[in-house]
């Protein structure tokens, strides 16, 4: 077995028992990250599509000190932000971008964000990623629950990773894995450890996320998770469609109720549109696997998001088809819960508990649909999961928000 512990870089690991994997510590809380890169040629890996991984640091403005990791599979460039909860900033394949154009142009360092600001909406000052983790102590709209102000969508997206490790298999298909460790902790409140892992392969136009939440404390704790997966142009446009196997759809609030008849279709950029949100309860296959698809008007480009109902049983569809400058975007968001404040979700049975030392897993897949055949195959898969079962269209919101 060939060893590569002598490679230059941030902490190449030499194992006492050599394993068929190249492994590098890119970020560790004991030292500042250094710009660094590795590619298939340096690793002595011969593939049809050469690949590379690069660590870099941003400077200037509110992005000062933010680390980015770029994974180039040879067919897709995926950018992660270890400084912001290991979120995925964007993924680009050819002329198709998975992501969106937020008014927040910089990748903001959490040190410059006050989550309690703007009445608990401070989270929005850094919001611009393709995949934004929400949780894990809570998610949802800001508001008071049990005497405590819960800010928008929790803290995890503004927690820098304590440690990031890159591993690349030495054998085909040469899987690339990026593993991050996050800590959500507060004295007397919560002691959560989150291990995130993004994996992909050379030549792939897809990636998967595999997150593990551990309650390291001695008492059971409530938790919530939601994956805010955000897409803009070129997939989002006038006439784009959202398709998923759905058991029930309901409006989030009275605003969404007025457009319930068109919940699966999208408008072009619309002045003063703001947003609408729909609560979905998806169907899954025999294993609980489900799939959500967004495709453009022509049906020749799209994205498929896979998830499991045993882990993420409900789904929020966010349609923010405001002007392009305001943020023209839609969110495909599987979760343990909807986007209501936590106090509204206990009666719905959507605030689960994790016991001492217990773990919860959340797995998602993201696949670019590069042409009409890819889109058609994804839609056929949705139809297979739906299996002719009906979709209930509930006219009223699940929660009475009163004056909120």
pLDDT tens-place string over residues 195-209: 999 999 999 999 999
What mean pLDDT comes out for the span 314-333?
A: 97
**Six-digit token string for 304:** 């498929």
| Model pLDDT, residue 210 | 98
Query: What's the pLDDT score for residue 9?
Result: 42
Task: Name the burial class of residue 1, with classes exposed (0-12), middle (13-18) and buried (19+) by CB atoms within 10 angstroms of its CB.
Answer: exposed
In percent, the amount of the chain with pLDDT more than 90 equals: 92
Average of per-residue pLDDT across 327-346: 98
Please give the distance of CA 15 from its chain centroid, rounded to a whole number.
32
For position 291, what pLDDT does the model report?
A: 98
| Sign of the CA dihedral running 252, 277, 184, 22 | positive
pLDDT class for 400, splitting at 50, 70, 90?
confident
Q: Looking at residue 29, what is its pLDDT?
A: 83
User: Over the stretch 252-287, which tens digit does the pLDDT of each residue have?
Assistant: 999 999 999 999 999 999 999 999 999 999 999 999
The alpha carbon dihedral of 273, 295, 78, 176 has a sign of: positive
Instruction: Report the pLDDT value the prediction gives residue 33, as an integer from 0 to 100.
Output: 77
Residue in this structure with the two tokens 């593990």, named with its chain if needed: 212
For the stretch 120-157, what's the b/e string if a residue is b when 16 or more beta carbons lie within 10 angstroms of its beta carbon?
bbbbbbbbbbbbbbbbbbbbbbbbebeeeebbbbbbbb
Buried b / exposed e along 350-369 (16+ C-beta atoms within 10 A): bbeebeeeeebebbbbbbbb
Q: What is the pTM of this model?
A: 0.94
Instruction: Please give the Cα distance from 272 to 269 (Å, whole number).
Output: 10
Residue 4 has pLDDT above 60, yes or no: no
* pLDDT, average across residues 303-328: 97
> From the CB of residue 116, how many other CB atoms can be counted at a distance below 10 Å?
11
Instruction: Annotate 144-186 with DSSP letters as a single string.
Output: EETTEEEPTTBSGGG---SEEEEEEESSTT--EEEEEEEEEEE
Dmax over Cα atoms in the chain, in whole Å? 66
């Amino acid at each position: 077995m060939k060893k590569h512990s002598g490679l230059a870089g941030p902490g190449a690991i030499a194992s006492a028992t050599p394993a068929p994997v190249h492994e590098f510590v890119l970020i560790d809380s004991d030292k500042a990250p250094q710009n660094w890169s590795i590619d298939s040629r340096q690793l002595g890996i011969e593939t049809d599509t050469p690949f590379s991984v690069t660590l870099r640091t941003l400077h200037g403005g509110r992005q000062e000190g933010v680390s980015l990791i770029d994974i180039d599979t040879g067919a897709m460039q995926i950018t992660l932000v270890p400084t912001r909860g290991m979120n995925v900033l964007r993924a680009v394949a050819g002329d198709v971008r998975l992501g969106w154009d937020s008014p927040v142009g910089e990748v903001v360092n959490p040190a410059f964000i006050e989550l309690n600001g703007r009445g608990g909406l401070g989270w929005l000052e850094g919001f611009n990623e393709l995949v934004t983790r929400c949780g894990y102590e809570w998610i949802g709209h800001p508001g008071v629950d049990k005497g405590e102000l819960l800010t928008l969508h929790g803290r995890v997206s503004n927690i820098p990773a304590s440690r990031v490790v890159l591993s690349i298999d030495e054998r085909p298909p040469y899987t690339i894995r990026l593993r991050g460790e996050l800590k959500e902790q507060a004295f007397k409140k919560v002691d959560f450890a989150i291990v995130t892992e993004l994996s992909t392969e050379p030549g792939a136009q897809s990636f998967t996320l595999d997150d593990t939440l551990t309650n390291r404390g001695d008492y059971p704790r409530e938790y919530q998770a939601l994956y805010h997966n955000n897409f803009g142009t070129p997939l989002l446009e006038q006439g784009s469609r959202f398709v998923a196997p759905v058991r029930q759809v309901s409006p989030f609030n009275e605003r969404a109720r007025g457009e319930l008849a068109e919940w699966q279709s999208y408008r072009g950029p619309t002045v003063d549109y703001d947003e609408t949100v729909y609560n979905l309860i998806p169907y899954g296959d025999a294993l609980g696997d489900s799939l959500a698809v967004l495709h453009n008007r022509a049906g020749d480009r799209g994205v498929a998001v896979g998830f499991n109902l045993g882990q993420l049983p409900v789904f929020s569809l966010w349609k923010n088809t405001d002007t392009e400058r305001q943020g023209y975007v839609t969110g495909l968001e599987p979760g343990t819960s909807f986007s209501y404040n936590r106090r509204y979700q206990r009666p719905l049975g959507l605030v689960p508990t994790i016991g001492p030392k217990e773990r919860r897993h959340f797995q998602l897949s993201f696949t670019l649909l590069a042409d009409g055949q890819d889109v058609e195959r994804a839609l056929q898969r949705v139809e297979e999961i739906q299996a002719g079962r009906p979709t209930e269209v509930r006219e009223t919101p699940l929660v009475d928000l009163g004056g909120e």
